[in-house]
């Protein structure tokens, strides 16, 4: 099948980058990053609407959609210094969860095996299962660690009589062997779910979950540094999963299951920048942006900036690896790179 394009709305790309077609390898053979949408919200347990996330994330910017975004902080242009392409959306029917999972995984695996980094725009968090498993199929089961930002653990066993949904993907990933439980790092958990039984299962898998109380007490930078050490131990790279509800609803109201008391937008963007600059990132997803519940597009803007921070940091990391000057966050803006 030829390039499907976005499921909803006009055929735009992420901030104007060039298109590619996953059925034609020649169109993305030289890509560093391929963006793909997964407009699926059939696994949502509360408010649906994340199917419209990919389109919102592609266009949420007040600047021209010209395929260029120079980062003031990192002094690179993630859309220019990397070859970034947009493959459109995977065709997802929200009433067919099994086939949607299968098709999303096939798309992510196609990107990963080409040598490009897949960045997946969700969609509800059901898609973490095919996203991370598609990356692990290429790099090796058990060779990819997970850094997961979320208000919720997403480690449920069976919800509403089903194995699949946005509350269960992390359990399914560990059970499949794609991601090791002892290389599964979660940041931002809070609230009133899951209960003791599921938490006990998580402990048995040797997962490391940083609840917001611990993050506040220790500071997010210290928690990240500890998580990085675990993530890099006996793994080749990381998959970064960002559920936008990790942020407080005051910063990200447009989501299906908001939970008060989360990270600020600034904390999330700084964390994503650090991860993608300091660690070998093999895949990224941004999920649970639900435009019907957004206010003034602030959630979509934040999700868009999460993608841009990831791209900019990956570009700067590659520049440093090629002999460029290491990034110094203390350096004044007007003193150059």
Binding site members for Mn(2+): 125, 150, 152, 154, 243, 245
**Which class for 321: exposed (0-12), middle (13-18), buried (19 or more C-beta within 10 A)?**
exposed
**Rounded CA gap, 195 and 330, in Å?**
42
Evaluate the CA torsion angle 27, 140, 147, 242 in order and state its sign: positive
Rounded-to-integer distance, Cα 172 and Cα 103, Å: 17
What is the C-alpha separation between 74 and 60, in angstroms, rounded? Answer: 21
CA distance 337 to 332: 9
Nearest-Å Rg of the Cα atoms of the chain is: 18
Q: Which residues are annotated as a binding site?
A: 125, 150, 152, 154, 243, 245
3-state secondary structure 101-124: HHHHHHHHHHHHHCCCEEEEEECC
């Amino acid at each position: 099948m030829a390039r499907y394009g976005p499921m909803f709305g006009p055929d735009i790309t992420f901030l104007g980058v060039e298109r590619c077609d996953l059925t034609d390898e020649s169109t993305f053979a030289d890509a560093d990053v391929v963006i793909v949408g997964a407009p699926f919200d059939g696994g949502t347990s509360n408010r649906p609407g994340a199917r419209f996330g990919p389109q919102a994330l592609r266009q949420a910017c007040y600047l021209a959609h010209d395929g260029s975004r120079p980062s003031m902080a990192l002094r690179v242009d993630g859309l220019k210094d990397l070859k970034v392409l947009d493959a459109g959306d995977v065709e997802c029917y929200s009433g067919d969860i099994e086939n949607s999972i299968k098709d999303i995984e096939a798309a992510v695996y196609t990107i990963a095996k080409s040598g490009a980094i897949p960045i997946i725009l969700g969609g509800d968090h059901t898609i973490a299962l095919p996203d991370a498993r598609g990356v692990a199929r290429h790099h090796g089961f058990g060779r990819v660690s997970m850094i997961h930002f979320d208000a919720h653990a997403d480690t449920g066993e069976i919800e509403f009589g089903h194995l699949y949904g946005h509350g269960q993907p992390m359990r399914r990933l560990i059970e499949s062997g794609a991601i090791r439980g002892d290389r599964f790092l979660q940041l931002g958990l809070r609230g009133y779910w899951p209960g003791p039984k599921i938490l006990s299962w998580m402990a048995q898998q040797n997962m490391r979950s940083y609840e917001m109380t611990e993050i506040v007490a220790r500071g997010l930078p210290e928690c990240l540094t500890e998580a990085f050490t675990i993530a890099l131990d006996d793994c080749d790279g990381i998959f970064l999963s960002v559920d936008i509800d990790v942020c407080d609803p005051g910063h990200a109201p447009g989501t299906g299951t908001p939970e008060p008391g989360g990270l600020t937008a600034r904390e999330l963007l700084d964390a994503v920048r650090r991860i993608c600059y300091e660690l070998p990132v093999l895949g990224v997803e941004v999920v649970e942006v639900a435009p019907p519940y957004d206010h003034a597009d602030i959630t979509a803007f934040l999700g868009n900036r999460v993608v841009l921070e990831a791209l900019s940091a990956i570009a700067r990391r590659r520049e440093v690896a090629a002999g460029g000057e290491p990034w110094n966050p203390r350096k004044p803006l007007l003193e150059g790179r």
